[in-house]
Amino acid sequence: MLLTGMGLISCGYCGSPLTTTYNTKSYTRKNGEKVKRRSPKYRCSGKAHKMTKCAGQTIYSHNRIESVFLNEISKFIEGFREEDLEKRIKSSVNRIEKKSDVELKSQKRKLSKNKKELEVLHDEVVKSLTGDSSFTPELLNELMKKKEITIKEIENKIEILEKDLQKEKDEIGQIEKIKSFIPDWKNEFENLDLPEKKVAISKIIKQVTVYREEIKIEFNFNIKEFIDSINFNKKVDQVS
């Protein structure tokens, strides 16, 4: 069962988890052979164990739920149109260029200037100790403390800008990965075994709620982890 065992699927009427059960049917073939057919079903655990007054069904079709679910995932992933992804890439590149060429370079120039000024103050302290400076050691120490505070503030700004830049670069990498992944994602997903499919699904699904006439799916937007989980399993298969 694709959706059980992860806490993702629940009854829309009572909120109880849907769990796995099996329906067994017996029939006799023309040759007289008796056959039992065992098929999996989704079951409202609250209603099945009489733990809640549930207005929904006890049993739900495994095929119906999973076909609707996979169809919705398909719509979700294929909804990332290539032209929209290109726009996001260009937007990220523009932000990187602005931060790199304008903000970051400006802060680095300020840092260099202030460090040079601090060196001058250090030299002036030596002169003041020998009586060759018009500044007192106390005044110079005060000026040096202020300059060190300024330098620290600039360094913090540079660190934040560099982290932001890295995030933008990472986002471009993620979008490029999505672009290359989307055309063949179905084949990649189908080639996973059941536990691997469950891991992949847990990356983008927050909740699946089942009603008599509809299934509601709440996406937890983590397309990158979904793709990574599929690509990781593919690499493992190739190695083994």
The mean per-residue pLDDT over the stretch 16-20 comes to: 96
Is the pLDDT assigned to residue 238 strictly greater than 70?
no
* Per-residue confidence (pLDDT) for residue 197, from 0 to 100: 86
The mean per-residue pLDDT over the stretch 94-100 comes to: 70
* Per-residue confidence (pLDDT) for residue 234, from 0 to 100: 40
Helix (H, G, I), strand (E, B) or coil at 127: helix
Say how far apart CA 115 and CA 118 lie, in whole Å: 5
pLDDT-based confidence at 24, cuts 50/70/90? confident
Inter-helix orientation angle 105-129/137-181, to 10°: 160
Say how far apart CA 127 and CA 140 lie, in whole Å: 11
- 174 against 207, higher pLDDT: 207
CB atoms inside a 10 Å sphere around CB 151: 17
- 157 against 90, higher pLDDT: 157
CB atoms inside a 10 Å sphere around CB 30: 5
Is the pLDDT assigned to residue 80 strictly greater than 70?
no
Say how far apart CA 98 and CA 27 lie, in whole Å: 72
